[in-house]
Structure 1
Amino acid sequence: MEYKESVVTDLANFIVLNIHKVKVRDVAIRSGFSYRTIQKMFIFYLNQNISDYISGMKIQMAANDIIYSPDSIESVAIRYGYSSVQSFTHVFTKKYKISPRVFRDINHRVYVQSL
């Protein structure tokens, strides 16, 4: 793995570990590269810019919480920084093609049956 790729991998891990509070600016500062350079590196290695990567990880981790935690959809939305359940539902439905509630119902049944 080349140096720049390892930097992007490390930053991706940093994003996941700090998903509840991380901002693009934090990632750029942590990288030691200019904002423009680190954006280009993310696009080259991950095929998306930093902001899209953060947003994607937030919704993916929120989906995981919807399945495996008893927390309300509202609590999950707030945990991942959405300003309202409506905005969270909009983003979630755009990605998964179903609402968070339906997603929970379908996946929770599958999870419980597998126990």
Structure 2
Amino acid sequence: MSMPAHFMESLIEWIEDNMDKPLRIEDVAKHSGYSKWYLQRMFTSTTGKSMGTYIRDRKLMLAADDLMNTNDRIVDISERYGFDSQQSFTRIFGKKYNVSPSAYRKNNVRQVA
């Protein structure tokens, strides 16, 4: 049994609309009405990424955009995207972008005064 494409599209849209929340896989599964195990298999099959990786990468991408385009404090950005702490955000961000959030901000052109 597979999920219809429109279901996965609407689920991804719901995930995108809720990026400012902690978004655990259990929450997404509850919203979808499917078990988390089945949903994760179908998500990976459809997108080529695990749901956890997709959510983390999108949150990091949004945070990187905020670092470049706002003057918001790093701690506020980490909280905005549901990271447990600024330290965990900095660690995860560094693994993804090979630079700390503050260095990323410093090295990229900012769009705000």
Deviations 1:66-102 (A, max 9, x none): 1111101111111112222221111001001111111
Distance 1:4 1:23 in 2: 23
Percent sequence identity over aligned pairs: 35
Question: Which residue number in structure 2 is paired with residue 71 of structure 1?
Answer: 72
Tell me which of the two structures has the higher relative contact order, counting C-alpha pairs closer than 8 angstroms and 6 or more residues apart.
2
Contact kept? 2:20, 2:82, Cα under 8 Å: yes
Structure 1 stretches of 5 or more lacking a match? none
Q: Kindly indicate which of the two structures has a greater share of residues assigned to helix.
A: 1
The alpha-carbon deviation at position 27 of structure 1 amounts to 1.3
Structure 1 match to 2:18:
18
Q: Is the 8 A contact 1:28 1:38 kept in 2?
A: yes
Partner of 1:100: 101
Structure 1 counterpart of 2:61: 60
- What value does the CA root-mean-square deviation take over the aligned residues? 1.9
- 2:90/2:101 contact within 8 Å kept: yes
Q: Which 4+ residue blocks in structure 1 deviate beyond 6 angstroms? A: none
Return the TM-score normalized by structure 1: 0.83
Residue matched to 1:85: 86
- How much has 1:20 moved relative to structure 2? 1.8
Q: Is the 8 A contact 1:77 1:88 kept in 2?
A: yes
**Are the structure 2 counterparts of residues 84 and 35 from structure 1 closer, same or farther at C-alpha, using a change threshold of 3 Å?**
closer
Contact 2:3 2:42 in 1 (8 A): no
